Amino acid sequence: MTGDFGKDYELIDTGGFEKLERFGKYVLRRPEPQAVWPKNDEEPLWNRSDAWFKRDGDNSERGEWLVSKGMPDQWTVDFNYSKMRLTMRLGMTSFKHVGIFPEQENNWRFIYDAVSDMRENPSVLNLFAYTGGASLAAKSAGADVTHLDAVRQVVNWANENMQLSGMDNIRWLVEDAMVYLRRETRRGKKYQGIILDPPAYGRGPKGEKWVLEEGIAPLMDACAQLLDPSCGFIVLNLYSMGFSPLVAENLLRNYFPYAADDIERGDLSFTDRRGNVLPLSVYARFFHNTIGH
């Protein structure tokens, strides 16, 4: 599956365990463990990128940015779909990330369309919510959004993106996802949309340990108790290289059996100029509505 981020994103080339991308007018060179094929040595931008995340040995997550003259610390890109108008602030982080995962545009469109097809002001919960693209997609379609992440800095970043996009009134939480889900279950809360993008490994704000393979089943069980079965959607995104779309689909099928016929699954990817398709994450999702508009 490929997307279209307009003129603000392009995957230029891939290979040699790296990817060459353009965000806005700036070209970035970053590690990519799945790009096991050779790069295009004739592509001059490999050696003329505006910023290069040089790996620390074999660790693709650790390293340092080598930045050319004129490369800003922060800049913005725009994403437009239907009546949604998002502006996202980018910046170079110590873990090679820049503030958006462009392939998630596909899920953003799905979220926007699902919320648009529901009753007014559905409640949407975004877990492991990072810098808020999915939260903004739901908010721009009219949802009452709760945005949760364990890292305060990225929640502040998401708040900045909300303001840049001309929105307000998203509920921000710095909390462990499972702690919050259990509390909401005790309260009898129901959501009409839940978005999940759990990492392979992580820590909660109080040091809570998260391992995807161990935590995903209880996480899905908790979400199943909170999602409105009459009208609701789930988006499950997984970046772990060991998981396929079938794994994500099976999770939804087992914990939301009433929506089995509504589930769609796939890979999120981009294609470079040479036609190499780079898989970036897998997803399964559904929108189940038994009460009409």
pLDDT at 2: 38
pLDDT at 219: 95
Neighbouring residues of 207: CB distance < 8 A, sequence distance ≥ 6: none
Q: Which of 22, 49, 72 is the last residue of a domain?
A: 72
- Percent of the chain predicted with pLDDT > 70: 96
| Separation between Cα atoms, residue 135 and residue 220, nearest integer Å | 19
Residue 39 structural domain: 6-72
DSSP 8: G
DSSP 128: S
3 in helix, strand or coil? coil
pLDDT at 166: 98
| Separation between Cα atoms, residue 123 and residue 103, nearest integer Å | 24
Residues 216 and 238 in one domain: yes
Q: For 33-51, what is the mean pLDDT?
A: 96
Residues 165 and 88 in one domain: yes
Band of residue 61 on the pLDDT scale cut at 50, 70, 90:
low
Tell me, yes or no, whether 86 lies in a domain: yes
Residues 199 and 262 in one domain: yes
**pTM of the entire predicted model:** 0.94
Query: What digits encode the pLDDT tens for the residues 193-213?
Result: 999 999 887 777 888 887 888
Residue appearing with tokens 């926007």: 112
| Separation between Cα atoms, residue 159 and residue 132, nearest integer Å | 8
DSSP 104: G
pLDDT at 292: 58
The CATH number for 103's domain is 3.40.50.150
Q: For 17-44, what is the mean pLDDT?
A: 96
Query: What digits encode the pLDDT tens for the residues 219-259?
Result: 999 999 999 999 999 999 998 667 899 999 999 999 999 99
DSSP 68-79: -TT--SEEEEEE
Band of residue 117 on the pLDDT scale cut at 50, 70, 90:
very high
| Separation between Cα atoms, residue 176 and residue 128, nearest integer Å | 9
Residues 65 and 145 in one domain: no
Query: What digits encode the pLDDT tens for the residues 156-171?
Result: 999 999 999 999 999 9
Q: For 58-85, what is the mean pLDDT?
A: 90
The yes-or-no verdict on residue 264 having pLDDT over 60 is yes
User: Total structural domains in the chain?
Assistant: 2
pLDDT at 213: 86
Tell me, yes or no, whether 33 lies in a domain: yes
The yes-or-no verdict on residue 148 having pLDDT over 90 is yes
| Separation between Cα atoms, residue 281 and residue 20, nearest integer Å | 18
The CATH number for 56's domain is 2.60.40.1180
- Percent of the chain predicted with pLDDT > 90: 84
Tell me, yes or no, whether 1 lies in a domain: no
